[in-house]
Amino acid sequence: MSEIHNVVIIGSGPAAHTAAIYAARANLEPVLYEGFMAGGIAAGGQLTTTTEVENFPGFPDGISGPELMDKMRAQSTRFGTKIITETIAKVDFSQRPFKLWPEYKLDKDPVLAHSIIISTGATAKTLDIPGKDTYWQRGISACAVCDGALPIFRDTPLVVIGGGDSAAEEATYLTKYGSRVYVVHRRDELRASAIMAKRLVEHPKVEMVWNSVIQEVSGDDKQLRSVTVQNVKDGSSKTLEAGGLFFAIGHKPNTDPFVGQIDLDEDGYIKTVPGTTRTNIEGVFAAGDVQDKTYRQAVTAAGSGCMAALEAERWLSEEE
C-alpha cells in the first residue's frame, strides 16, 4: 500500500503556503500539490497575475505579486514541505484515508492522506474585450481593493463593470481615488443589496451607465485611456475617457474536483463552520478564497491557512 501522508495541501496561494509553513514546522511533513496551470493560473495563485502588492504587511515599499509568492514557496520548502507541480483532478472523501488523484494519473493508485487542506482559491471572472490583453495591469484590473490606490488610478475617470455587491463595493471604494466612477451594468436594475445599491447610485462621483456592455478599450500603449460602451437596448455606442477599468462580475471558486464530495454553497464555495476552517467532512479543512467570498485578500487567505494547519494538527493528534 502507498504511504499515507499526514496532511496533503491542495493549492499554491497564500493560504496553501501558510498552511504548509505551519504544518511543516509542526513536523507533519506536509505534501503540497501546487497545480500546473490549475484554473488557468500559474502555481502561486492569483498574485502571480498582478504587479505590485502594497497591502501585505512586512513589505513597506511593496513587493511584486510573483516575488511575494516565490518567497512564500521558499519558506514552505525551507521547513521541509514536499511540493509537487501537479493539479489534483479527483478526490474521494467518502472514507479514510482520503484519496486524491492528480491530473493525468486518474488510472494510477491514488495519493493517500489522513487529513486534507483545500486552498485552491478562486478565479476572478473577466471578459474577452478587444484591447484587454494589451492593458491588463496597465489600467485594467479585477480587484479594486488591491489595485485602486495605485498612482495610475488617481484623479482620472474609472469604470467598473458589474451590478452586484462587489461592483457596488468596489465602485464606492474607487470614489476615493478616481475623479469620477462610471458603473457599467448590462441591465437597468442592480443585483446588489438595497443598502449598497443606494449608497452607490447616490454617490456624487458615481455615474451609472445602464443597459450597457463594454465594446472595446484603448489607450496609448502604456496605459488605458478610454472605454467604449454599447447600449444593449438601442445599439448606440459611446466612448468614456477612463484611466482604469475594473471587472467586478464575480469570481469562480476552484472547486470542480470537490463537487459531490464536500458541502458547497449555492455559488460553489466550500462551506466551513463559521470561525473555523472545518468542513462537513472531519479531517478536511478549507482555507483562503475557496471558502471566502467576503474578504478575498492575501492576508486573510494566509490567516485562514494558518488556522487550517493548526486545526489539522489538533485533529490528527486527537485521532491518534
Check residue 191 for interaction with ligand NAP (CB under 6 A): yes
Q: Report the residue from 28, 30, 33, 192 that binds ligand FAD according to the rule CB under 6 A.
A: 33
Q: Report the residue from 81, 254, 277, 279 that binds ligand FAD according to the rule CB under 6 A.
A: 254
CA distances from 269 to 16, 155, 228, 240 (A): 16, 36, 33, 35
**Is 143 one of the catalytic residues?**
yes
CB-nearer residue toward ligand FAD: 14 or 244: 14
Angle at 12 between CA 287 and CA 10, to 5 degrees: 60
- Which is the catalytic residue, given 147, 165, 289, 292? 147
Q: Please state at what angle helix 65-78 crosses helix 14-25, rounded to 10 degrees.
A: 20
Stretch that binds ligand FAD, among 31-39, 169-177, 188-196, 306-314 (CB under 6 A): 31-39
Residue type, 251: H
CB-nearer residue toward ligand NAP: 108 or 187: 187
**Is 306 one of the catalytic residues?**
no
**Do the beta carbons of residue 161 and residue 126 sit within 8 Å?**
no
Cell matching residue 235: 445599439
Which residue of this chain has its Cβ atom nearest to ligand FAD in the complex? 121
Choose the one of ligand NAP, ligand FAD, none that binds residue 162, judging by a C-beta under 5 to 8 angstroms depending on kind. ligand NAP
Choose the one of ligand NAP, ligand FAD, none that binds residue 164, judging by a C-beta under 5 to 8 angstroms depending on kind. ligand NAP
**Nearest CA among 126, 134, 17 for reference residue 78:** 17
- Which is the catalytic residue, given 143, 165, 289, 292? 143
DSSP 10-65: E--SHHHHHHHHHHHHTT---EEE--SSGGG--TTGGGGG-SEE-SSTT-TT-EEH
Cell matching residue 314: 489538533
CB of 14 to ligand FAD, least distance (A): 5
Stretch that binds ligand NAP, among 16-24, 110-118, 141-149, 186-194 (CB under 6 A): 186-194
**Is 147 one of the catalytic residues?**
yes
Which residue of this chain has its Cβ atom nearest to ligand NAP in the complex? 164
**Do the beta carbons of residue 157 and residue 184 sit within 8 Å?**
no
CB-nearer residue toward ligand FAD: 31 or 200: 31
Contacts of 254 (CB under 8 A, 6+ apart): 11, 38, 39, 120, 121, 122, 123, 290
Check residue 292 for interaction with ligand NAP (CB under 6 A): no
Angle at 115 between CA 109 and CA 118, to 5 degrees: 90
Q: Report the residue from 34, 86, 147, 165 that binds ligand NAP according to the rule CB under 6 A.
A: 165
Check residue 253 for interaction with ligand NAP (CB under 6 A): no
Write out the binding residues for ligand FAD, residues 175-204 only, by CB under 6 A: none
Residue 117 DSSP class: E
Cis peptide before 257 (omega within 30 of 0): no
Mode of pairing for the β-strands spanning 82-84 and 31-33:
parallel
Residue 280 DSSP class: S
Q: Which residues are catalytic?
A: 143, 146-147
Q: Which residue ranges make up the site for ligand FAD (CB under 6 A)?
A: 10-16, 33-35, 38-39, 41, 43, 45-47, 49-50, 53, 55-56, 87-88, 119-122, 124, 141-143, 146, 254, 257, 288-290, 296-299, 301
Q: Which residue ranges make up the site for ligand NAP (CB under 6 A)?
A: 127, 162-167, 169, 186-187, 191, 249-250, 293
